[in-house]
Amino acid sequence: MNETIASMVNRRSCRKFSDRMPSAAEIDAVVEAGLYAASGMGRQSTIVLKVTNKELRDRISRMNAAIMGKDEGLDPFYGAPAILVVLADREVPTHVYDGSLTMGNLMVAAESLGLASIWIHRAKEEFDSEEGKAILAELGVEGDYEGVGHCALGYWDAEKPEPPARRDGRVFCAE
């Protein structure tokens, strides 16, 4: 099995991160891999918010918890020190698919570098809110973007789980 396929097969969602921040070079490499994801007609509709500032990270965490109906004490990002938020241009018909491919690339790239990751939802609701729009404006983001997902990123602070067995009956041949 080659290294790329091994990263895909071995990737697991991390639900307990250490507080150790990945290096800027590691985060940048993951982001670059995300930006090379396939996109409908090559439109490259996605953008990535690289959130390593603890105050902004915690603000987004509180927004996410509120959307879940949970109190502020819950961290939907499982303690990950870095969050990569994927948003996509609503004007592009394939924007949600483009964002999903970007998320996949981010998580596989993280695995290839020995980093832990997990896809956390509710980015759409966050960035459709007035507070979310204010965050985008504070960061200088212009345009009509829809939140697709958060890639929580860091290092494992738990034993990495073994993969569950793959369900049978998911491949159909038309030869």
Task: List domains and CATH numbers for the chain.
Answer: 3-154 (3.40.109.10)
For 30, the token pair is 């993951």
- Residue 88 near residue 95 (C-beta atoms within 8 A): yes
Q: Write down the pTM of the prediction.
A: 0.96
Please check the confidence at residue 72 and state whether its pLDDT lies above 90: no
Label residues 6-40 b or e (16+ Cβ within 10 Å = b).
ebeeebbebeebeeebbeeebbebbbebbeebebe
- Residue 107 near residue 48 (C-beta atoms within 8 A): no
Pairing relationship of beta strands 46-51 and 145-154 according to DSSP bridges = unpaired
Please check the confidence at residue 108 and state whether its pLDDT lies above 90: yes
Rounded to whole angstroms, the maximal C-alpha distance in the chain is 55
Quick: pLDDT tens for 125-145: 999 999 999 999 999 999 999
Determine the pLDDT at residue 163: 87
Report the 10 Å Cβ neighbour count for 129: 15
Identity of residue 138: E
